[in-house]
A and B are shown apart, each in its own frame.
Chain A
Amino acid sequence: MTKKGRILTIDPVTRLEGHAKITLHLDDDGQVADARFHVTEFRGFEKFCEGRPLWEMPGITGRICGICPVSHLLASAKAGDDILAVAIPPAADKLRRLMNLGQIIQSHALSFFHLSAPDLLLGMDSDPAKRNVFGLMAAEPKIARDGIRLRQFGQEVIEALGGKKIHPSWAVPGGVRAPLSEESRERLKARLPEALRIAEEALELFRKISGRFSEEADALGNFPSLFLGLVTRDGGWEHYDGVLRVMDAEGAIIADQVDPREYRTLIAEAVEPWSYLKFPYYRKHGYPDGAYRVGPLARLNLCERMPTPLAEEARREFRRTAGDKPVTSSFFYHYARLVEIIASVETAATLLDDPDLLSSHVRAEAGINRTSGVGVSEAPRGTLFHDYQVDEHGLILKVNLIIATGQNNLAMNRTVLQAARHYIRNRKIPEGFLNRIEAGVRAFDPCLSCSTHAFGQMPLQVVLFGPEGETLDERTRE
């Protein structure tokens, strides 16, 4: 990768485990020509699932990620539904949706309150030793407590259904193992008003402070790209099912009503020797021009309406920030995430009144009726695909997983490049660059656990090398 010429290397972007690094490449004039975000973790799920029974897959693939195990659980169970060729009972569909909403709430709350609020509320240049959730607890105890309780509510939705907050083995091919109990339903309903209050206050807070970050909003991942995600058949916001839509940066819909089984017609994957995270791209536009973004920002750009009143009002205001075009700044992933928390709490409230949730008919029984199946869901971070091939006994022959965060890989790389070009002048690394470049990546809420492990505030060390490999500048944040 080190071609002759000027190489400006940011190395490593260590997290604690050293799982992510950044390198920059300088052209002859000392300008940043390229930047790379390297993901350095690999666990090999696709291979070691081979030979295992289809029925085990939700439980195993949930272990890909402890932050969004429910996404894998559901996508895996849905790939199983497809292989059994069954329509699952309506109650099971609603119960799975409820669990996914719980997961969106807890995961988005974690991203906003535990991981990004320290930057947003304590400041990008605040003391790194305190710029974390414990620092937030000390400086802004009410907000920290609210965030903890909102995440807890989401986790309790998951636990009420699956018996466990993390890694419930509850969804199965054909449906789910158990309905919701009446006590659990009442307990969750009692917590709804607080959850909605916290979500609304967080959105208000973000709107109030986002003006302070106009430079970051511009410099950290503001560029045109495609957007991809699920929408309902009639173009509404969707998190569990639906059809795929792709939009360009001008807001034109370039693919629509695509059956998720046909995802391969939209998406292809590239590999680079310098990262364990693959690079999905929009097939028709080729690599790397087919860069697209998934997740909250994409979903709010793609959909024409939210299913609930407060969320719809918030979506309209969100879209107004960019006129009639899609919102292109990755910094506004935070904003989109907060709108989605409101949508999830409101939708959960509606679902919890549905008598079907207590029905005991929650699982369709069937054998292996097809030898391949695709399951899709919107994980908190974007569209997730599980694609399985099985033999006639239901033993796995082949697995392909397209993980949400991977699909943002090209965009995260561009964010790093844009940030580097903005903040690196004259081969110097200005103070505060480190945390800002992290914040740029953090806005995507990369669940590198799904493919690697970066989460939270990845500590950085940055070294600039000149053409001969000499150190030009070096900065480490302690």
Chain B
Amino acid sequence: MSPQKKHFRPRIATVWLAGCSGCHMSFLDLDEWLFDLAEIADVVFSPIADVKEYPENVDAVLVEGAVANEDNLELIRKVRARTKILVAFGDCAVTGNVTALRNPLGGPEVFLERAYVQEADTQPGIPRDHSVVPELLPRVLPLHQVVKVDAYLRGCPPSPAAIRDLLLSALGGEKEKE
């Protein structure tokens, strides 16, 4: 991917789109195995870390959640361009799951109306300052409808053991190519 000399340690990332964070919590449920992970790879980007910009040359990324708004869309495209192995991490990423329950009921307006107009006591109105709050997409999309996905990890959330096995095989595969 990059002309410079290949880094020795695999670089992994986790990304959080429109999901409930449960998939990330299942990742943290790897508990003390996280020490082992830190021995073999660098976590270069994650909601639990401080790096702001999604970096270049990521070997594998776990992406939680569906694509539900303009911000999700922009980020997932960037992630795709900068990552070798993109994993749809959990049912929301794979199928849309709970996040996509809004799809059969029409566009986002009915939802926004319910939340911000009908259920408000003061200043009812849909937040529309799109300079700060991103516009919702007409439909919630699973990852593969937006970008190429290399591996799917089912479950709501996937079990820690499944996450570990997938990471090991993804990182192992990368090692062999070196």
List residues of A whose CB falls within 8 A of some B CB: 1, 11-12, 14-19, 21, 23, 38-44, 46-48, 60, 63-67, 69, 110, 114-115, 128-129, 131-134, 137-138, 141, 145, 148-149, 151-152, 155, 165-167, 268-276, 278, 281, 283, 287, 400, 435, 449, 453, 455-457, 459-461, 476-478
- Which of A42, A128, A275, A400 has the most CB atoms of chain B within a 10 A radius of its CB? A42
Q: A48-B102, A478-B51 are in contact. Are A12 and B132 (CB under 8 A)?
A: yes
Binary flags per residue of B46-78, CB closer than 8 Å to A gives 1, else 0: 111111111000000000000011011011000
CB-contacts of B121-136 with A (<8 A) = 121-129, 131-134, 136
Residues in B with CB closer than 8 Å to A46 are 111, 114-115, 119
Binary flags per residue of B20-31, CB closer than 8 Å to A gives 1, else 0: 111111101101
Interface contacts beyond A11-B132, A17-B47: sample of 13 additional A-B pairs, CB < 8 Å, sorted by A: A11-B131, A18-B134, A46-B111, A66-B20, A128-B50, A132-B46, A133-B34, A165-B29, A268-B121, A271-B123, A278-B120, A281-B122, A455-B21
For the complex, give the distance between the alpha carbons of A47 and B110 in Å: 8
Contact yes or no, B49 A66, CB < 8 A: no
B162 CB to closest chain A CB (Å) equals 13
Asked if B142 lies at the interface with its beta carbon under 8 angstroms from chain A, I say: no
Q: A16-B15, A145-B32, A275-B133 are in contact. Are A456 and B52 (CB under 8 A)?
A: no
Asked if B1 lies at the interface with its beta carbon under 8 angstroms from chain A, I say: no
B9 CB to closest chain A CB (Å) equals 12
- Which of B23, B69, B97 has the most CB atoms of chain A within a 10 A radius of its CB? B69
Return 16 A-B CB contacts under 8 Å, by A number.
A16-B15, A17-B17, A17-B72, A23-B132, A40-B133, A42-B115, A44-B115, A63-B20, A66-B25, A141-B35, A269-B120, A271-B120, A272-B123, A273-B128, A274-B132, A457-B50
Residues in A with CB closer than 8 Å to B38 are 134, 137-138
Binary flags per residue of B90-122, CB closer than 8 Å to A gives 1, else 0: 000000011101100100101110111101111
Contact yes or no, B123 A167, CB < 8 A: no
Count B-side interface residues using an 8 Å CB cutoff. Answer: 68
For the complex, give the distance between the alpha carbons of A210 and B26 in Å: 31
Asked if B141 lies at the interface with its beta carbon under 8 angstroms from chain A, I say: no
For the complex, give the distance between the alpha carbons of A167 and B122 in Å: 34
B1 CB to closest chain A CB (Å) equals 21
Contact yes or no, A44 B108, CB < 8 A: yes
Contact yes or no, B69 A41, CB < 8 A: yes
Q: Which residue of B lies closest to A478 (CB)?
A: B52
Residues in B with CB closer than 8 Å to A23 are 132
Q: Which one of A14, A67, A141, A273 contacts B129 once the chains associate, using CB atoms below 8 Å? A: A273
Q: A16-B75, A167-B157 are in contact. Are A44 and B50 (CB under 8 A)?
A: no
Q: A15-B47, A66-B24, A114-B48 are in contact. Are A272 and B127 (CB under 8 A)?
A: yes
Asked if B149 lies at the interface with its beta carbon under 8 angstroms from chain A, I say: no
Asked if B167 lies at the interface with its beta carbon under 8 angstroms from chain A, I say: no
A469 CB to closest chain B CB (Å) equals 12
For the complex, give the distance between the alpha carbons of A30 and B22 in Å: 43
For the complex, give the distance between the alpha carbons of A144 and B21 in Å: 21
Asked if B166 lies at the interface with its beta carbon under 8 angstroms from chain A, I say: no
For the complex, give the distance between the alpha carbons of A15 and B22 in Å: 17
Top 7 A-B residue pairs of the complex, sorted by shortest distance between their CB atoms: A66-B22, A44-B111, A459-B52, A270-B122, A268-B121, A132-B49, A66-B21
For the complex, give the distance between the alpha carbons of A19 and B125 in Å: 20
B7 CB to closest chain A CB (Å) equals 15
B30 CB to closest chain A CB (Å) equals 9
B131 CB to closest chain A CB (Å) equals 8
For the complex, give the distance between the alpha carbons of A1 and B28 in Å: 39
